[in-house]
Amino acid sequence: MTSPPIALIQGFKKANALLNVTLQQIIHPEAALHVHYWGFMPQHFDNTEHKHSFFEACYVLDGTGSYIEGDTEHPLEAGALFLSRPGIPHQIRSRDGLALCYVAFELLSPPRERSGATAVKGPADVASGSGGSDAFRGALSRLAAEGICVLPGGSLAAQPAVMLWHSLLSWFQPGRSEAGVPPLLLKSTALSLLLALIQGHSPPKPQQASPPGPAEEGGMLMRQAELFIKDNLGEALSLERVAGYLHITPRHLTRSFRKFRQQSFVHYVQEQRVQRAKQLLLHTELQIKEISALCGFESVHYFTRIFTIKLGVSPARFRRSQFTEGRFDSRDRASAPFSPKAEDSNLPSSGNDSP
């Protein structure tokens, strides 16, 4: 590679200075890691064969070279990731220099263990720390024993970690102030990067999660429909409009409401509008005609009819009841879902497709 640009050198210096002070430990309920060092080197040439007591994960930002582990020499080029595992002798070679980003880490151990002299660990020792869940410690053990040492640039396994390296580096571009880097965002990015490196270099799992079945997909679809309806109660909510938002047919949406909610689309929307009106009557001083409009009823008359059928009392009397009898009993019929039979006989339609 040619001489690195000044901007790259400056960015690497800023990253080295900040990350090695602020990100020495990354702690999450499921994963706790001790970071020995972060490194950003604009030109890395040959080094001698050596080994570590921890993981060292590297990203080739630019240049060409090779990574040697045992008797195997792996070519390196821009975009490649390579991992040195605990206790494994390795060497980096590059005639023209590699622009490298790297991080050295291991499972977080109690302070007394970290303060003493560290023997070079092997795969069997990697999970001896106390950080994180059993599953996470097991993942690090598998990584130490069977980890893939080099991921070529452009490979699917490398892509998440490569993008996260660039996301981390973006905070140290020229013109950005170090004081402007949000600490929580920086720590979250670093944790995501380390997890992506662990996942990317790990051997594929024999079993993958099965795709969601029709019932799960239908449940997710209904949750989206319900959120859309609740967020837009003040507007006209026709079956066609909601189905169009979900990119399904009106017939599909109708069947989904019958299957998963045991009621029609029209009466579900009416129920939500009555519930919203109930809350506004109890907790605001808005006029009834204002509440009718906010809840999407096309007229005060229609609002009064639907509200009275559902709760057995008119909106005005319902509001007065909180002063004469206290808060309206939460066990009233508004808290119960419509039954399909009662819907068809008791609740009138507004005369168009909008509930």
- The pLDDT of residue 352: 46
CA 206, CA 144: separation in Å to the nearest integer?
18
Question: Which of 5-9, 57-61, 169-173 is the least confident region?
Answer: 5-9
CA 115, 116, 118: angle at the middle one, nearest 5?
115
* DSSP one-letter string for 18-70: HHHHH-SEEEETTEEEEEEEEEEEEEE-----B--SSEEEEEEEE--EEEEET
Both structure tokens of 120? 């070079």
**pLDDT of 116 above 90:** no
Largest CA distance in the chain: 89
CA 292, CA 315: separation in Å to the nearest integer?
10
Rounded (10°) angle between helices 250-261 and 239-246 = 90
What's the chain's Rg over C-alpha atoms? 31
pLDDT digits (tens, 9 = 90+) for 43-85: 999 999 999 999 999 999 999 999 999 999 999 999 999 999 9
Measured torsion, CA atoms of residues 324, 327, 331, 334, in degrees rounded to the nearest 10: 90
CA 20, CA 172: separation in Å to the nearest integer?
14
Q: Burial of 118 by CB count in 10 Å (0-12 exposed, 13-18 middle, 19+ buried)?
A: middle
Segments making up each domain of the chain, as ranges: 6-201, 214-346
For residue 78, give Cα distances in angstroms to 35, 82, 103, 153.
Answer: 25, 11, 17, 6
- The pLDDT of residue 204: 86
pLDDT digits (tens, 9 = 90+) for 294-317: 999 999 999 999 999 999 999 999
For residue 232, give Cα distances in angstroms to 111, 227, 244, 246.
Answer: 54, 9, 14, 14
Top-level CATH class of 6-201? mainly beta
Assessment of whether the complete model's pTM goes beyond 0.85: no
Both structure tokens of 169? 């580096």
CA 349, CA 327: separation in Å to the nearest integer?
30
Both structure tokens of 119? 């023997």
CATH code, 214-346: 1.10.10.60
pLDDT digits (tens, 9 = 90+) for 77-105: 999 999 999 999 999 999 999 999 999 99
Q: Please check whether residue 229 is in contact with residue 295, taking contact to mean a CB–CB distance below 8 angstroms.
A: no
